[in-house]
């Protein structure tokens, strides 16, 4: 399967940024200046490449995205900012562009200045390798602790003619609890590394529609999943639209992007550091979706719930206890809970060890759902989470060593 | 060291409630009806003994506390409530009291009805064992996953004459993120198990002063510590004052209770399930204490921070990133961080690997502090947390098996 989209070329190479070696520098180039949109971490502490991308997105159309893994260029002060500027300017020179047309993104260890000289040395080979068929190389180049690269194709309905294409690429495994918004509150110093996502489409879109569609799709996918409850300082989602296919309005873009975002979010959670399961926590029956979201998020981020998922334990007590501390009113005596398709708790009463044993077997699946019905209201929300086990501790207790 | 307090007798015995055996039923009896106060979990989902204790506290003076481990009597519906009532009434009969003068508290597994018949069978022996010197037996009887029993003595200044005594007893290791308040919002069904704390003093206090002092002391101790971010449904703190020593006003009671509460909270965090370190997260320099509390709590409950503590990694990036997502404004470029007495990040700049290595060595201590100075304001707050490692996963993934 190829992941080409009209108007874009891709490349990935090993620039020696990652200690462990492997692909660590990726490039997306648009044949012409393209419409672009982005959402970024709402963390007060932001890495230099995030600040630079936000500023450049405001200047108009863009031509390229330069992304690296192995170094987040975070908390590196003026030297780090200079390194981000130098590496994107070097890219622009090679491609005959303005520096401001290149959007940077970085992920990896923090506190070390981006090695701009290694990037500059690798750039000629990277540019030479640009190809319409190399999106997977780009996807591989941005991986850090990811166990596999993540790339998904979808379609966008157009006003006339055949549907346009959209390809989404994401990296992310730990520090996954995105809280992305269009307009970060404050400028700031730099930091860590996590979720990067890139979308390219050949739909013809105006910038406002692309931005609005991206924000809406992100809200129901990346902003509704959690591996460890920590929101990174480098979280970045960019979308580029070449306009070589038919026109798409905001609704069409949203509806096209959403399934791609959801599939990428699911893969990201499945690849959660040390995770063995991706679990959809669905909360139903509350007065509105916002209340359901609050409860679903509290359950999805509960350590006791996540360790129970790891232990394959249909522990309705922990589920209900987490829901109970979410700050949303409901009557526990009317609550029902099903796990992996088996109802284990109905209208406030546990249904016993036998059905729990059935549910426990369902929890051996790589992916399953938990439904908590907390009333009779119309509000519902689904939050994606992962289990938390020894793998998570191993990855995160030793990350910098 | 004895933990006797004038006017009280204690006992603990093995009633066969805990699968593993050992002391699991405890009794405190006051010689006369005594003034009592209490704070309880704010979780919407509450266990039956919590509901019963809240109701009985409102009726006036009390004579006894009956506490058990091994069973939280939670999510057990009418049968569970009946079991709590039956066991406290049996206690009252044996002691010649009214049932309403006995406050129940339970901790342990959920979803199983309290075995009232086992308790009733053990009660005669328990009552026979009552002794002024047996507070430690009570402390042992309420332990679940605790690695040691926790009991602390302090003093309360009186208006004239020698100081009064206060003895505090706590159990708790997991599901520790108390959010205790005087008046839970709603009645509810029952649930899990966690932090139980009991204070006995011979100070003479009126009920309003005792309640207010207890609330204030809890707010700065149990409500400012976290093992896993999960607030239990059984959290209960009770204080009984026999009045056999001198009179103490609210301030004297607060100042006497606070160091006892803090020491118990510290022991509880040190005994955090699988924890190897108790770490004080102190946030300074914000506009007010409430803002500092918000940031300190966010840092103290961050999984990435807690796994870094486990890994003995002076990871200022994770600390700063957690602070940055707390929703409180500060300038990361002015932030400074010291770990175990060593400044590793000053005014937005990391100080390098050498000082980090010194801090890493400090992180091998069982107990140390982290100070984050985020500005020049007068607001500060200290939150206690533990590291999170394999032990936590082991305890919680297999708790019910």
DSSP letter string, A65-88: EEEESSB---S-HHHHHHHHHHHH
Confidence (pLDDT) at B223: 87
Confidence (pLDDT) at A145: 79
Confidence (pLDDT) at B231: 65
Cα–Cα dist A214/A124, whole Å: 32
Which residue, among A75, A275, A401, would best test binding to B if mutated, counting the most B CBs under 10 Å from its CB?
A75
Q: Between the CA atoms of B110, B116, B117 and B123, what dihedral angle is there, to the nearest 10 degrees?
A: 120
Cα–Cα dist A277/A270, whole Å: 6
* H helix intervals, A112-249: 116-128, 135-141, 207-219
User: Can you say whether residue A389 is alpha, beta or left, with left for phi > 0 and alpha for psi between -120 and 50 degrees?
Assistant: beta
Confidence (pLDDT) at A183: 41
Cα–Cα dist B230/A315, whole Å: 14
CA distances in angstroms from B24 to B15, B19, B125, B139, listed in the order given? 6, 10, 13, 10
For A122, counting Cβ atoms within 10 Å of its Cβ (0-12 exposed, 13-18 middle, 19+ buried), the class is buried
Q: What percentage of residues in chain A have a pLDDT greater than 90?
A: 70
As its CATH architecture, domain B8-270 has: 4-Layer Sandwich (3.60)
Task: Say whether A307 and B392 touch across the interface (CB within 8 A).
Answer: yes
Tell me how far apart the 2 most distant CA atoms of chain B are, in Å. Answer: 69
Q: Between the CA atoms of B18, B23, B26 and B31, what dihedral angle is there, to the nearest 10 degrees?
A: 160
Ranges of each domain in chain A: 8-270, 278-397
| B160 inside 8 A of chain A by CB | no
- The band of A45, judged by pLDDT with boundaries at 50, 70 and 90, is confident
Confidence (pLDDT) at A186: 31
Confidence (pLDDT) at A284: 97
* H helix intervals, B197-249: 207-219
Q: Residues B213-270: pLDDT tens digits?
A: 999 999 899 888 876 656 677 889 999 999 999 999 999 999 999 999 999 998 888 8
Confidence (pLDDT) at A39: 93
User: Tokens 């000053």 — which residue?
Assistant: B346
Tell me how far apart the terminal alpha carbons of chain A are, to the nearest angstrom: 38
Confidence (pLDDT) at B191: 27
User: Which residues neighbour A76 within 8 Å (Cβ) at sequence distance 6 or greater?
Assistant: A48, A83, A111, A112, A113, A114, A190
Task: Give the number of other CB atoms < 10 A from CB of residue A20.
Answer: 7
Instruction: Sort strands B278-286 and B367-373 into parallel, antiparallel or unpaired.
Output: parallel
DSSP B204: B
Task: Say whether A396 and B311 touch across the interface (CB within 8 A).
Answer: yes
Does A176 score more than 80 pLDDT? no
Confidence (pLDDT) at A287: 97
Confidence (pLDDT) at A12: 98
Q: Residues A67-104: pLDDT tens digits?
A: 999 999 888 888 999 999 999 999 999 999 999 999 99
| A44 inside 8 A of chain B by CB | yes
Q: Which residues of chain B, if any, have pLDDT below 50?
A: 183-193, 401
Going by C-alpha positions, the residue among A132, A131, A137, A130 that lies closest to residue A151 is: A137
Tokens representing residue B308 in the block: 């870094």
Instruction: Sort strands B25-41 and B62-68 into parallel, antiparallel or unpaired.
Output: antiparallel
Which of A304, A321, A348 lies nearest to residue B43, judging by beta carbons? Answer: A321
Confidence (pLDDT) at A130: 98
CA distances in angstroms from A68 to A17, A198, B51, listed in the order given? 8, 13, 56
Burial B83-105 (b: 16+ CB within 10 A, else e): bbbbbbbbbbebbebebbbbbbb
Q: Are B314 and B352 in contact (CB under 8 A)?
A: no
Going by C-alpha positions, the residue among A125, A105, A96, A119 that lies closest to residue A32 is: A96
Active-site amino acid positions of A: 194
Instruction: Sort strands B25-41 and B180-181 into parallel, antiparallel or unpaired.
Output: antiparallel
| A160 inside 8 A of chain B by CB | no
Cα–Cα dist A184/A42, whole Å: 5
Asked if B8-270 and B278-397 have one fold, the answer is no
Q: Are B66 and B196 in contact (CB under 8 A)?
A: no
Confidence (pLDDT) at B190: 25
DSSP B231: P
Instruction: Sort strands A25-41 and B336-339 into parallel, antiparallel or unpaired.
Output: unpaired
Tokens representing residue A36 in the block: 């672009």
pTM beyond cutoff 0.80: no
DSSP A38: E
Tokens representing residue B383 in the block: 């939150």
Give me the count of residues in chain A: 401
As its CATH architecture, domain A278-397 has: Roll (3.10)
Cα–Cα dist A296/A319, whole Å: 10
Residues in B touching A191 (Cβ below 8 Å): 317, 320-321, 324, 332
Cα–Cα dist B131/B9, whole Å: 5
Going by C-alpha positions, the residue among B141, B150, B176, B152 that lies closest to residue B68 is: B141
Q: Residues A261-310: pLDDT tens digits?
A: 999 998 888 887 778 899 999 999 999 999 999 999 999 988 889 989 99
Task: Say whether B331 and A188 touch across the interface (CB within 8 A).
Answer: yes
Which residue, among B291, B326, B393, would best test binding to A if mutated, counting the most A CBs under 10 Å from its CB?
B393
Tell me how far apart the terminal alpha carbons of chain B are, to the nearest angstrom: 37
> Of A123-132, A178-187, B46-55, B324-333, where does mean pLDDT reach its minimum?
A178-187
Confidence (pLDDT) at A193: 37
> Of A201-205, A253-257, B121-125, B325-329, where does mean pLDDT reach its minimum?
B325-329
Cα–Cα dist B258/B268, whole Å: 15
Q: What angle do CA A162, A10, A202 make, to 5 degrees?
A: 20
Tokens representing residue A294 in the block: 């609050």
């Amino acid at each position: 399967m190829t992941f080409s989209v009209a108007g874009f070329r891709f490349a990935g190479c090993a620039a020696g940024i990652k200690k462990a070696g492997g692909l660590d520098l990726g490039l997306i180039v648009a044949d012409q200046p393209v419409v672009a949109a982005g959402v970024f971490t709402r963390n007060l502490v932001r890495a230099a490449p995030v600040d630079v991308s936000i500023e450049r997105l405001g200047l108009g159309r863009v031509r390229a995205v330069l992304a690296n893994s192995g170094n987040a260029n975070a908390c590196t002060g003026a030297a780090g900012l200079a390194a981000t500027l130098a590496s994107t300017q070097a890219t622009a020179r090679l491609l005959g562009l303005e520096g401001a047309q290149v959007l940077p993104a970085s992920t990896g260890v923090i506190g070390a200045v981006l090695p701009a000289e290694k990037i500059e040395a690798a750039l000629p080979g990277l540019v030479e390798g640009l190809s319409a068929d190399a999106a997977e190389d780009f996807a591989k180049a941005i991986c850090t602790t990811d166990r596999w690269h993540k790339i998904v194709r979808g379609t966008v309905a157009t006003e006339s003619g055949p549907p346009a294409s959209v390809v989404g690429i994401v990296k992310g495994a730990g520090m996954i609890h995105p809280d992305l918004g269009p307009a970060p509150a404050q400028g700031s110093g730099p930091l860590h590394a996590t979720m990067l996502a890139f979308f390219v489409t050949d739909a013809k879109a105006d910038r406002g529609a692309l931005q609005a569609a991206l924000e809406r799709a992100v809200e129901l996918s990346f902003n509704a999943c959690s591996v460890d409850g920590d929101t990174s300082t480098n979280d970045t989602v960019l979308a580029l639209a070449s306009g070589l296919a038919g026109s798409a309005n905001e609704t069409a873009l949203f509806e096209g992007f959403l399934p791609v975002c959801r599939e990428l979010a699911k893969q990201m959670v499945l690849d959660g550091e040390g995770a063995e399961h991706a679990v959809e926590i669905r909360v139903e029956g509350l007065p509105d979706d916002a209340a359901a979201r609050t409860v679903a998020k509290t359950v999805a981020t509960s350590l006791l719930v996540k360790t129970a998922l790891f232990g394959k334990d249909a522990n309705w007590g922990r589920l209900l206890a987490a829901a109970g501390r979410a700050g949303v009113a409901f009557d526990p005596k009317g609550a029902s809970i099903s796990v992996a398709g088996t109802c284990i708790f109905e209208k406030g009463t546990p249904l016993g060890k036998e059905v729990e044993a059935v549910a426990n077997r369902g929890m051996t699946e790589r992916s399953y759902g938990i439904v908590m019905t907390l009333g009779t209201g119309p509000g519902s929300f689904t939050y994606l989470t992962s289990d938390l086990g020894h793998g998570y501790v191993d990855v995160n207790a030793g990350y910098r060593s």
